[in-house]
């Protein structure tokens, strides 16, 4: 039985999360499918940003300790609110820094080469920024990245096999850093299994949650993960360049931060102005500099929505949306040279669809001009992310029909097949 617009409309009528769409600034006539790169602005995030601006206006420097959200404690307050999204205790999460700064902090803290255990294990499909940081950390410790950074190879250029990762967990590996979800194919790695296998071999392991936070539930504590880090501007919808966050398992509390700074301090001691650091006794120790308060503020409102919607409900609808899109792609686009590059199984598929096509860059340009906002990934990838909080099933149906029209009438051919500066 073919899928129709009526099928989509029926799914929308039964959608328990439909009301949250009105929370966001959705542009009329635009189908936004790029929430896995930058989430849309919500009215609550806007309100909380304006509230923090008002506290600056009202209190001046006293805003650090006064107002509804005192800035001095804001990172801890929001860490507590984020903790349920990653399955952590309140004091194991801190909102701080940027993704790569936090990775540098965590690797500098937990990478302790000793004897023949000198290598870091990663993968060849990881986001480039993580690899840059790992190479940099190896160099700082006096090691050659070409020898001491192990990158697990993919069998198909799209996905990773956990068995291949485990095979590389040798007695030379001191630390493992992997993505929770691969940024291109959207594959979810089995974090529980990988953590168990790493710990059997006395290896610490951490995960980059950038493409999973806000899209799937996590159980970092139950899995025993040592550390994790993530951005908040994708599925969490906290705005461009919003402050990131990190997790440190409480079993590591008391470990001194590798990169100490002003906000690594225990709060009660910070303004004693001593030249000897007394680190915070929880994840707060892994902060470095003064919080970027205005870039943190939208997260206040955004997290309210996640608390009300529930991450389990978000995941349920996300799977329905991506499955509906997969079924439509198979129904409508079989004749146009597309291949699905993401896992089809629910337990392995993240929050976006990954289509491959030799004309991907120009197809993305044509989609944008048709008011469907995709995401291009070189050399031939189109990412489409129907987000549970603000996309509809009818939008998914429409976007596939628009893509079919672009291909059927060769509308993409009027564009050059190369990426824009920001892809």
Which amino acids are annotated as binding site for pyridoxal 5'-phosphate, given as ranges?
99-100, 127-130, 208, 211, 233, 262, 290
Angle between helices 298-309 and 43-59 (to 10 degrees): 140
Residue 111 to residues 79, 147, 207, 216, Cα–Cα distance (Å): 24, 16, 14, 28
SS3 of 227-266: EEEECCCCCCCCCCCCCCEEEECHHHCCCCCCCCCHHHEC
Residues present in the chain in total = 423
Cα-Cα-Cα-Cα torsion 173, 165, 377, 299, nearest 10 degrees, comes to -70
2 by Cβ neighbours in 10 Å (0-12 / 13-18 / 19+) ranks as exposed
134 by Cβ neighbours in 10 Å (0-12 / 13-18 / 19+) ranks as buried
The DSSP result for 4-36, as a single string, is: -HHHHHHHHHT-TTGGGGGGB-PPTT-EE-BTT
Residue 197 to residues 123, 179, 201, 250, Cα–Cα distance (Å): 16, 16, 7, 20
Token pair recorded at residue 336: 């146009």
**Which residues have C-beta within 8 Å of that of residue 241, sequence separation ≥ 6?**
98, 233, 295
Binding site listing: 99-100, 127-130, 208, 211, 233, 262, 290
Cα-Cα-Cα-Cα torsion 115, 121, 124, 126, nearest 10 degrees, comes to -130
Backbone φ, ψ for residue 248 (5° rounding): -130, 125
Q: Which secondary-structure segment (H or E) carries 176? A: strand 173-179
CB-CB contact of 382 with 360 (8 Å): yes
d(CA 340, CA 213): 23
**Which residues have C-beta within 8 Å of that of residue 99, sequence separation ≥ 6?**
129, 208, 210, 229, 230, 231, 244
């Amino acid at each position: 039985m073919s899928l129709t617009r009526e099928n989509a409309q029926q799914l929308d009528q039964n959608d328990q999360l439909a009301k949250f769409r009105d929370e966001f600034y959705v542009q009329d006539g635009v189908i936004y499918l790029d929430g896995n790169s930058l989430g849309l602005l919500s009215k609550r995030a806007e309100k909380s940003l304006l509230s923090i601006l008002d506290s600056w206006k009202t209190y001046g420097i006293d805003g650090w300790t006064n107002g509804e959200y005192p800035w001095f404690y804001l990172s801890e307050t929001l860490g507590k609110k984020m903790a349920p999204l990653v399955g952590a205790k309140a004091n194991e999460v801190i909102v701080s820094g940027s993704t790569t700064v936090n990775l540098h902090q965590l690797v500098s803290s937990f990478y302790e080469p000793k004897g023949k255990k000198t290598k870091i294990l990663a993968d060849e499909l990881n986001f480039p920024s993580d690899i840059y940081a790992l190479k940099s950390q190896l160099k700082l410790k006096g090691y050659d990245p070409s020898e001491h950074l192990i990158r697990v190879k993919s069998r198909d250029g799209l996905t990773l096999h956990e068995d291949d990762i485990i095979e590389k967990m040798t007695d030379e590996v001191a630390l493992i850093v992997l993505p929770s979800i691969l940024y291109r194919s959207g594959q979810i790695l089995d974090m529980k299994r990988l953590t168990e296998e790493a710990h059997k071999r006395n290896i610490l392991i951490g995960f980059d949650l950038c493409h999973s936070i806000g899209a799937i539930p996590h159980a970092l504590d139950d899995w025993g993960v040592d550390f994790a880090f993530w951005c908040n501007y994708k599925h969490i919808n906290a705005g461009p360049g919003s402050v990131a966050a990190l997790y440190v398992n409480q079993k590591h509390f008391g470990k001194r931060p590798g990169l100490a700074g002003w906000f690594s301090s225990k709060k009660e001691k910070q303004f004693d102005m001593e030249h000897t650091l007394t680190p915070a006794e929880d994840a707060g120790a892994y902060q470095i500099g003064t919080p970027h308060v205005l870039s943190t503020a939208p997260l206040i409102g955004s997290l309210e929505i996640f608390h009300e919607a529930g991450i389990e409900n978000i995941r349920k609808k996300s799977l329905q949306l991506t499955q509906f899109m997969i079924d439509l792609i198979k129904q409508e686009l079989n004749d146009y040279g597309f291949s699905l590059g993401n896992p089809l199984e629910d337990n392995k598929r993240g929050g976006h669809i990954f289509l491959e096509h030799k004309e991907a860059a120009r197809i993305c340009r044509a989609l944008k001009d048709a008011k469907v906002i995709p995401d291009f990934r070189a050399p031939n990838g189109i990412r489409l992310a129907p987000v549970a909080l603000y996309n509809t099933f009818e939008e998914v149906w429409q976007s596939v029909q628009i893509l079919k029209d672009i291909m059927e009438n060769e509308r993409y051919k009027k564009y050059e097949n190369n990426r824009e500066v920001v892809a």
